[in-house]
Amino acid sequence: MTSPQRILVTGGSGYIAGVLIRQLLAAGWQVNTTVRDLKREPALRQLLGAGQGEASEQLRCFAADLMLDAGWAEAAAGCSHAAHIASPLPAGVPRDANELIAPARDGALRALKAARDAGVQRFVMTSSVAAIAYGHGPGEHRFTEADWTNLAAPGIPPYIQSKTVAERAARDWVAREGGGIEFCTVNPSVVLGPVASADYSASVLIVRSLLEGRIPALPNIGFGIVDVRDVADLHWRALTAPGMADERFIACGGFLWLREIAAILRAELGDEARRVPTLQMPDWAVRLLAKVSPTVRAAASELGTARHQDATHARERLGWVARPPREAIVATARDLIGLGVVKL
């Protein structure tokens, strides 16, 4: 790519989007971004370092909601590229799965239609390993981009459903109506790393809950982890590399059990991690609590299951290399403490 171009980045106030937008602005790109309410624009500009001078002209903000048609055509106008990052990520478990499925699916299709009509050439969508690694039973599994979550399996949580349905709907739409648009997805695992403000992603709650001692004992569950800076970098590479049509890239730095995450916090933070639990919660206790708590119920379905997400394709195809999960975990913790989100 020889010259900066204009790009639409949806969900500009989000965790991944913020890091990517800073990278794009630093490289001289013109950025259009969406927010649900333009009252958030001044705070967003300050957070992104685009509040005045030339930087203010580089960034344009548009009001657009995943569930409404208004604003999407204006946001995409004049753009050659798009990164669709906006998607609902709840802190809890909704009663109705459609509260997440509808905005994730319909928002992706709105962004795609607006991008196609505006003449966008490259469209990178943020999906998730949630669309890859679930519904395959307990035990130890290794997943690649060829795998898909099995929605026919019992007990698939609403968030997992939403990411799977949204990515499949987007790919089907592109095949049917996308014209010449090049579409690919980035599928991150749990995203941690530096936190720029107290308005943080729900994924960061894992570290916050451990630091604040909200989890009295550690259930036998684990996650793939990736640093937010590496996720933004993978988006950048997918936006700028040649031949990305129909590609799919797992973004994961490695799998860790919750007990390993807790041990890293205690080892790196010392007294600041004094509330981090050390005891293991027996599986029977998790299952008992699951009868009264939807959040624990979701954890109970994960007991003893190791989902290793293989990022070989991103390394070989795009030269992408992830930081160790330890670095992402510690960066999250230090920023949460520094911002005063976690009170010690």
Please tell me which residue in 39, 113, 163, 291 is annotated as part of the active site: 163
Q: How far apart are CA 247 and CA 240, in angstroms?
A: 13
The beta-strand segments (E) located in 252-293 are 254-257
- DSSP 8-state assignment for residue 216: S
Q: What is the dihedral of CA 149, 151, 157, 162, to 10 degrees?
A: 80
Q: Which two tokens stand for residue 305?
A: 């299951």
Q: How far apart are CA 303 and CA 298, in angstroms?
A: 10
Number of helices (H), then strands (E), in the chain: 13, 12
3-class DSSP state of 152? coil
Active site residue 113: no
**Residues 24, 60: contact at Cβ < 8 Å?**
no
DSSP secondary structure string for all residues of 154-176: TT--HHHHHHHHHHHHHHHHHHH
For the chain, the residue count is 344
Q: Tell me the CA distances in angstroms from 197 to 92, 147, 273, 327, one per residue in order.
A: 21, 35, 21, 19
Tell me which residues are annotated as active site. Answer: 163
